[in-house]
A and B are shown apart, each in its own frame.
Chain A
């Protein structure tokens, strides 16, 4: 059973995003990139399925420019068997990414497609759902538990109101939430071994998809304005007094 995991390189969350002048977007030049933390959890779950003998191959896939090879190489060091980079310099909407991933799914024919529930840069939370829709596959989103049985999976989803458990017949798409597992670190021998693992670069054009440009454009990026009082109070009595008389919220 093959498992496919999508990997997105994102700005290291410990770094502050730097804006280009005149609201022209985020400056990612020379920024340190890591695997999107949710994708790392997705990869970890796929690796555990392989280690328990339930999956036979873990393939990671990314869409982007050649820089993404570094992130994919890290995914290989974590334990993926091989990597695919769909190389493009184009700006891709979530819908375009979903269409590209669909093409890769039809080529690789995995029984399970794993994605992080959202990327921590664009915070969109939609590629997995879109991909499941385009494939007409069942979807298990925001999952915190996965149990693979013959030909089907049981997943527990994290909802605003609590938890929900679904049974999905394979093939299926799942998007993972934080509490599914704790990802491993790449060991030094595995980092060395990863250099020998196959990483295939496929140009987007060669996939022969008719991908229209997105019907939207990002016209501005800016920093939110916040003005906080930053008053230090010295006692509980003073705090309550301020909240009543000054802020008028009690």
Chain B
């Protein structure tokens, strides 16, 4: 089984979701017939890191035309390389979802999206209906394009002493697009662990009432070295930016501990967090639907509970040190 994994990185650093895709690749190819595909511009620093990963070959496209990894350019390249593989894999991040379906269509292949379990190399499980139903798909597609849900595959890094061989794609294979121009990006500054990789996530909902109050969630997260999450309602109300949204259409997380505060539990939100190992719910309404999926529930006023939690955690930290 030959597998091609597409590298996902930001500011020249590989993302945890990429290592999850690598875990899925290893499950599909125990013989480790895995190649990596890297597209970008001036990615020498990145390449030094990638070379140490235990894979067969790195297919590199280092060109100005790939600087912003536009789907029109990158999907086209992937489709040209894909014909040599049994599987092409990415994480179901916004990056993967933007690029891989386009590449699959160019190869006249279907794509199985958001895989959470690999039963065998032809059989995959994926959630539908916001995770309320699981669907098992058996495929005989010639090239199996998969996006995998990163939270369902523990990221692995297997380093090798032998550097992987690097194959550079010829410049004339890269298409020049006049019909699409990158204008700008506004990336959120990462000041705490990312939602995708954090052991603990603290999320807030509409009950926080304002952007100022939402800082309470951030303060608690900092005490726990946790990532911050939010419901769609909190994002729509402007308490926090869109990239913190957890849910069916936002990020899907499965941390060791998920603390949901002031969140009623719309199915769209539950879809993004219900695979968390331990779920804590803090809500004023004892009948809030989210209590149904809680391991530990605390009913009360969050404006009293959060400061008390912060206070208590500070005390615990002091006794430890």
Which residues of the other chain, B, contact A240 by a CB distance below 8 angstroms?
309, 312-313, 316
A1 within 8 A of B: no
Partner pick for A247 among B135, B257, B291, CB 8 A cutoff: B257
- Whether the Cβ atoms of A166 and B181 lie closer than 8 Å is yes
- Whether the Cβ atoms of A169 and B267 lie closer than 8 Å is no
- Whether the Cβ atoms of B135 and A218 lie closer than 8 Å is yes
Shortest CB distance A167–B (Å): 4
Total cross-chain contacts (CB, 8 A): 251
Cα of A26 to Cα of B127 in the assembled complex, Å: 13
* Chain B interface SS verdict (over half): mixed
Number of interface residues of B (CB under 8 A): 92
Shortest CB distance B151–A (Å): 13
Contact (A220, B101) CB under 8 Å given A160-B95, A249-B278: no
Partner pick for B183 among A124, A167, A239, CB 8 A cutoff: A167
B177 within 8 A of A: yes
Partner pick for A217 among B134, B138, B298, B312, CB 8 A cutoff: B138
- Residue ID in chain B nearest A171 by CB atoms: B179
A203 within 8 A of B: no
A207 within 8 A of B: no
Contact with B along A153-170 (1 / 0, CB 8 A): 010011111111111110
Cα of A166 to Cα of B180 in the assembled complex, Å: 7
- Whether the Cβ atoms of A249 and B277 lie closer than 8 Å is yes
- Whether the Cβ atoms of B101 and A129 lie closer than 8 Å is yes
A69 within 8 A of B: no
Shortest CB distance A42–B (Å): 14
B90 within 8 A of A: no
Partner pick for B257 among A130, A138, A178, A250, CB 8 A cutoff: A250
Contact (A167, B180) CB under 8 Å given A126-B101, A133-B75: yes
- Whether the Cβ atoms of B295 and A126 lie closer than 8 Å is no
* Chain A interface SS verdict (over half): mixed
Q: Which of B127, B249, B312 has the most CB of A within 10 A?
A: B249
B284 within 8 A of A: no
Which residues of the other chain, A, contact B94 by a CB distance below 8 angstroms?
141-142, 157-160
Shortest CB distance B313–A (Å): 7
Cα of A191 to Cα of B208 in the assembled complex, Å: 39
Which residues of the other chain, A, contact B256 by a CB distance below 8 angstroms?
249
- Whether the Cβ atoms of A179 and B113 lie closer than 8 Å is no
Number of interface residues of A (CB under 8 A): 81
- Whether the Cβ atoms of A221 and B136 lie closer than 8 Å is yes
- Whether the Cβ atoms of A126 and B113 lie closer than 8 Å is yes
Which residues of the other chain, A, contact B134 by a CB distance below 8 angstroms?
221-224
- Residue ID in chain B nearest A139 by CB atoms: B71
Cα of A169 to Cα of B179 in the assembled complex, Å: 5
Contact (A138, B316) CB under 8 Å given A118-B249, A122-B128, A162-B185: no
- A residues 96-122 near B (Cβ < 8 Å) are 98, 117-118, 120-122
Q: Which of A127, A157, A233 has the most CB of B within 10 A?
A: A233
- Whether the Cβ atoms of A216 and B112 lie closer than 8 Å is yes
- Whether the Cβ atoms of A221 and B133 lie closer than 8 Å is yes
Shortest CB distance B308–A (Å): 4
Contact (A130, B105) CB under 8 Å given A125-B97, A141-B98, A247-B296: yes
- Whether the Cβ atoms of A123 and B186 lie closer than 8 Å is no
A192 within 8 A of B: no
Partner pick for A228 among B136, B140, B279, CB 8 A cutoff: B279
9 closest A-B pairs by beta carbon, nearest first, are: A126-B101, A130-B105, A216-B139, A129-B101, A133-B102, A220-B136, A169-B179, A133-B105, A138-B180
